[in-house]
Amino acid sequence: MGILSWLKSFSAGEEKAGAATFAPGEENFHGLNMKEAIDAHVAWKARLKAQLSGTSTETLEIGVIASDDRCTLGKWIHGEGKKIYGHLPEYAELLQQHAQFHLNAGNILLEAHRSGNEAAEKMLHGPDFRHASDMVQLGLVRLYAKSLNV
């Protein structure tokens, strides 16, 4: 199902709207590849899990992870996205949702340092992190739909 069909199903309250996929030409959003941005945010769970289990090949720093302007999507939100869509309420929502996601990710690493990996694993698999991730994806798609006046 194309991204716009998925959004319509999701917005209509269909809990099983299925996976969002992109029809040809839907991925590019004023310099942002939406599929890559969404995939990168979905991958955060695996990256954090690898960090907590000690199998990661990268070093994740709390301050970097908690910042919402370092990833590809964050750079776009604070740059080109702001220039074009900064006046829209959907942009403000995405900005807030993206910042909250990164705060949640940073808090997971902070919890690992404070209380250990078991407590951090609970946060990683808990509803707050999943909800924050879902909201970033949904917020991005809503901004995209608004740009098309859907």
Residue showing tokens 């098309």: 148
Residue identified by tokens 């909800």 is 131
SS3 state of residue 76: helix
Place of tokens 């769970």: 45
CB burial of 31-69 (b: ≥16 within 10 Å; e: otherwise) equals ebbbbebbeebeebbeebbebbeeeeeeebeeeebbebe
Amino acid at 19: A
Q: Phi/psi of residue 28, each to 5°?
A: -80, 125
How is domain 32-147 classified at the CATH fold level? Four Helix Bundle (Hemerythrin (Met), subunit A) (1.20.120)
Give the predicted TM-score (pTM) of the model. Answer: 0.84
| pLDDT tens, the chain, 150 aa long | 566 666 566 555 554 545 566 677 777 888 898 888 888 888 999 999 999 999 999 999 999 999 999 999 999 999 999 999 999 999 999 999 999 999 999 999 999 999 999 999 999 999 999 999 989 988 998 998 898 875
Tokens 């908690």 sit at which residue?
Answer: 66
**Domain limits, the chain:** 32-147
- E-only strand ranges, 34-109: none
Per-residue confidence (pLDDT) for residue 29, from 0 to 100: 86
- pLDDT value of position 1: 54
Q: Would you state the pLDDT for residue 111?
A: 96
Block residue for tokens 């992109």: 22
Handedness of CA 107, 113, 116, 121 (dihedral sign): positive
Question: What is the pLDDT at residue 34?
Answer: 85
